[in-house]
Amino acid sequence: MKIAVLPGDGIGTEIVAEAVKVLDVLDLKFELESALVGGAAYEAHGHPLPEATLKLAKESDAVLFGAVGDWKYDKLDRPLRPEQAILGLRKNLGLFANFRPAICYEQLVDASSLKPELIAGLDILIIRELTGDIYFGQPRGRRTATDGHFPGAEEAFDTMRYSRPEVERIARVAFEAARKRSKRVTSVDKANVLETFQFWKDIVTEVGKEYPDVELDHMYVDNAAMQLVKAPKKFDVVVTGNMFGDILSDEAAMLTGSIGMLPSASLNSSNQGLYEPSHGSAPDIAGKGVANPLATILSAAMMLRFSLNQPEAADRIESAVKHVLASGLRTGDIWSEGTKRVGTREMGDAVVAAITKKTITG
């Protein structure tokens, strides 16, 4: 089993180091190989996704990814910006199915800005299509308008598009996932306005007929954004397009109190996957040793379960994380009165200790 380790920028290097530490104590035989990605790769090689990094990712069973991006690269031409690395990996590896669970840990109910009764026990799964939609649709660019409200003016445009097979395969991923949970899927669209999403809705409905045991409902994205804060526990599996999924998954993440807790998986059709925390590179706290490594550690658990066929090792990591939270250790993002504030490294050490069954201090 080969894992490509791509820490990236900002807090990426700190949090990935903790996840690697956890993988190292599992007594499994992995080959880990690291490479630069994002701004770090741009600095060293002039490109956010160098050939060698892409090659390593392609020939690995899984990619453990930290985060990319920093404000200082905002002025670069778009193809050279750090974000292009993650988009390039998704595209080149065909990682079309993005799993973003939003789970509210019992111990962290108070960390959410929502009332505890709304989010206690929350466990929803957002499945975001990741290689289509307006993110990748061609054509796109800038030109002089020939019609619209201001003919002759400078304009910019992107293309929202989905093909039938793209919608069918993500719909199947959602229905299959729902079968392993509470058998409910909410498909989120904007069929009242957009042709692309009327098409989406029609196809999801068709595929749904193959899954009579799964209950399917449809919701417009604006309403879904509202329902997510009004009554989030009404959702179970949510399936949506790339753009809506980007927005709704950040919203869902914050329901749980801390985006610092949420892992994610992006899979292709052969179960090769990229695993990354749902949060970004947080340049404001980079290098300070205060970032929460748990989302990355939990991403490593997802990697073991989905791509490396090691469900027991995944369970061990997840129980260790729960144990550490129960013992009262918190990084700054999830700290509350009566708990013990620790740094990135101490949090990683505590997870390692819980796995190896040593006593946890604090």
Q: Tell me if residue 190 is catalytic.
A: yes
Q: Which of 110, 217, 222, 315 is catalytic?
A: 222
| Among Mg ion, ligand IPM, none, residue 87 binds (CB under 5-8 Å by kind) | ligand IPM
Alpha helices per DSSP H over the chain? 12-24, 39-45, 51-58, 83-93, 116-119, 164-179, 195-208, 221-230, 242-255, 294-306, 311-326, 344-355
At closest approach, how far in Å is the CB of 10 from ligand IPM? Answer: 12
Closest to 238 in 3D by CA, of 266, 265, 218: 218
> Applying CB under 5 A, what is the total number of residues that bind Mg ion?
1
Cβ atoms of 71 and 10 within 8 Å: the answer is no
Q: Tell me if residue 27 is catalytic.
A: no
At closest approach, how far in Å is the CB of 259 from ligand IPM? Answer: 11
At closest approach, how far in Å is the CB of 86 from ligand IPM? Answer: 5
Q: Pick the piece of the chain touching Mg ion (CB under 5 A) from 208-216, 245-253, 287-295, 346-354.
A: 245-253
Q: Find all residues with CB under 8 Å of 51, minimum gap 6, and list them.
A: none
Contacts of residues 157-163 at CB distance under 8 Å and 24 or more positions apart, as own/partner, are: 158/134, 159/134, 160/133, 160/134, 160/194, 160/196, 160/243, 161/132, 161/133, 161/134, 161/137, 161/196, 162/129, 162/132, 162/133, 162/196, 162/199, 162/200, 162/241, 163/132
Site for ligand IPM in 246-305 (CB under 6 A): 246
Binding residue for ligand IPM, selected from 25, 87, 103, 229, defined by CB under 6 A: 87
Residue nearest to Mg ion (CB): 246
Q: Find all residues with CB under 8 Å of 163, minimum gap 6, and list them.
A: 132
Q: Specify the amino acid at residue 177.
A: A
Closest to 64 in 3D by CA, of 156, 154, 146, 2: 2
At closest approach, how far in Å is the CB of 71 from ligand IPM? Answer: 13
Q: Tell me if residue 135 is catalytic.
A: yes
Based on the shown chain and the rule CB under 5 A, indicate whether residue 83 belongs to the binding site for Mg ion. Answer: no
Give the C-alpha separation, 349 to 346, whole Å.
5
At closest approach, how far in Å is the CB of 231 from Mg ion? Answer: 23
| Among Mg ion, ligand IPM, none, residue 229 binds (CB under 5-8 Å by kind) | none
At closest approach, how far in Å is the CB of 343 from Mg ion? Answer: 26
At closest approach, how far in Å is the CB of 275 from Mg ion? Answer: 16
| Among ligand IPM, Mg ion, none, residue 86 binds (CB under 5-8 Å by kind) | ligand IPM
Q: Which of 42, 73, 105, 135 is catalytic?
A: 135
Q: Which of 105, 190, 236, 275 is catalytic?
A: 190
Based on the shown chain and the rule CB under 5 A, indicate whether residue 123 belongs to the binding site for Mg ion. Answer: no
Residue nearest to ligand IPM (CB): 83
Q: Pick the piece of the chain touching Mg ion (CB under 5 A) from 20-28, 66-74, 246-254, 264-272.
A: 246-254
Is residue 303 classed as helix, strand or coil in its secondary structure? helix
Binding residue for ligand IPM, selected from 86, 320, 353, 355, defined by CB under 6 A: 86
Based on the shown chain and the rule CB under 5 A, indicate whether residue 246 belongs to the binding site for Mg ion. Answer: yes
CA angle, corner 258, sides to 289 and 217, nearest 5? Answer: 145
Task: For strands 62-67 and 2-8, give the pairing.
Answer: parallel
Is residue 344 classed as helix, strand or coil in its secondary structure? helix
Q: Specify the amino acid at residue 75.
A: K
| Nearer Cβ to ligand IPM (70/189) | 70
How far, in whole angstroms, is CA 320 from its chain's centroid?
21
| Among Mg ion, ligand IPM, none, residue 155 binds (CB under 5-8 Å by kind) | none
Q: Tell me if residue 275 is catalytic.
A: no
| Nearer Cβ to ligand IPM (79/121) | 79
The residue with tokens 């035989």 is 29
Site for ligand IPM in 44-83 (CB under 6 A): 83
Site of interaction with ligand IPM (CB under 6 A): 83, 86-87, 246
Site of interaction with Mg ion (CB under 5 A): 246
Catalytic residues: 135, 190, 222, 246, 250
